[in-house]
A = this chain, B = another copy of it.
Amino acid sequence: MLTSSEKKTLKFIQKYCIEKGYSPTLTEIAKGIGIKSKGVVHRYIKTLESLNLISISSHRKRGIVLNLEAYENQSVAPIIPLLGRIAAGQPIEAIEGREEINLADFIMNPDRFALQVSGDSMIEAGILDGDTVIIKHQNTAENGDIIVALIDGLEATLKRLKKLPDGMILLIPENKLMEGLIYEAKRIQIQGVVVGQLRSYQ
């Protein structure tokens, strides 16, 4: 088990390696985790080495190597460090404040559930066949929301909502090849609103 300082150290090293392409010095780590003593840092990385999380080339400068294989199956929590912003043709840009993504906040709410999407009707909204959408269960929604609508109590569909001035409801697919459909409000029952989307490659 890692102590919190050790965890912090590992995280810093990981981030540093990804951003710069080489590993940090002990002094850089010390500064990065907010302490002054590189002796202390050395103690921490020795622990990380003994747990096989990193390798240290003895006495070599910047001689820390992440043992990526060792991390497989070490699942800890649905928290993923958010390292920064990436754009075409620019270095990774650090983000203020939000340091990590908490999937627990993202999805683990009692009023949320997940649906797997099949079909291409929302493809232009970036929701692809096979994606999972997180739905917040509620019976009303705003114009522009992507909703799960139950039509005539029978058919469920994922569409963007538009309430027309005449009281009718327009359900808009995000796909040029498909057309929106207009329903009387009473035929449409809103089941929930899309609050998140996730996709797994592999």
Q: Which residues of A contact B (CB under 8 A)?
A: 1-4, 7, 10, 14-15, 17-22, 53, 57, 60-63, 66, 68, 71-92, 95, 100-119, 121, 123, 126-128, 131-134, 137-138, 145-146, 148, 150-151, 153-159, 173, 178, 189, 191-202
Contacts and interface: CB of A to CB of B under 8 A. Distances in A.
Contact of A137 (B68, B78, B107): B68
A154 B121 CA distance: 39
Contacts of A80: 106-108, 112-114, 134
Contact of A21 (B82, B107, B118, B150): B150
A158 B103 contact: no
Given A87-B158, A88-B119, 10 more contacts: A18-B104, A18-B113, A78-B107, A84-B116, A86-B158, A88-B157, A89-B155, A106-B198, A123-B126, A126-B126
A21 B189 contact: yes
24 contacts: A1-B62, A3-B62, A14-B113, A18-B191, A21-B76, A21-B189, A68-B138, A71-B110, A76-B109, A77-B78, A78-B104, A78-B107, A78-B108, A80-B114, A83-B114, A83-B115, A85-B115, A85-B118, A86-B116, A87-B119, A89-B151, A90-B156, A101-B114, A193-B201
A56 B100 CA distance: 28
Contacts of A121: 87-88
Contacts of A118: 85-87
